[in-house]
Amino acid sequence: MFYNLLQHLHSALRWLVLISLIYAVYDAWQKRKLKTTYDQQSRKPSFYAFILTHTQLLVGLLLYSITPRFQFISGMMKDHVMRFFAVEHPMMMLISIVLITIGYIKGKKAGSFGTIFWFYLIALMLILICIPWPFYNYNTHWI
């Protein structure tokens, strides 16, 4: 029951994270282009994306720690679905969140929307690649 709730929460948060990241990347691009002054008000979109991705990380880590979907057994890495959920998805998402964190902190220190733009854009691309989209057929293999 709790696992299913977390799984649905993690899936729903995905859309908020994607929308906020896409908007933050667009916003940083526009403000970089227009040479907007970097202040607390102007960095709100990147801050909201930062908060949402870290919330998603916490939900994902909790989900990962209680998941009944896989067991760390011999031969697990040969199954592409188990490998994706056990290693590839968590590691790529963690790398993405590290990039978002570095981009936000460096951008804030430098007062640069360009820094935020590039770090968030790379993180967004990694996230889009590693989301278990329905067309990957990962969920039907071994629920």
- Buried-exposed string 58-72: b where 16+ CB fall within 10 A, e elsewhere: ebbeebbeeeeebee
Banded model confidence at residue 98, pLDDT cuts 50, 70, 90: very high
Question: Token match 């801050």: residue?
Answer: 47
The candidate with the shortest Cα–Cα distance to 142, out of 74, 64, 83, is 83
pLDDT digits (tens, 9 = 90+) for 6-50: 989 999 999 999 999 999 999 999 999 998 888 888 889 999 999
Evaluated on CA atoms 132, 135, 141, 143, the torsion sign reads positive
Give the type of residue at 51.
I
118 pLDDT above the threshold of 70: yes
pTM: 0.88
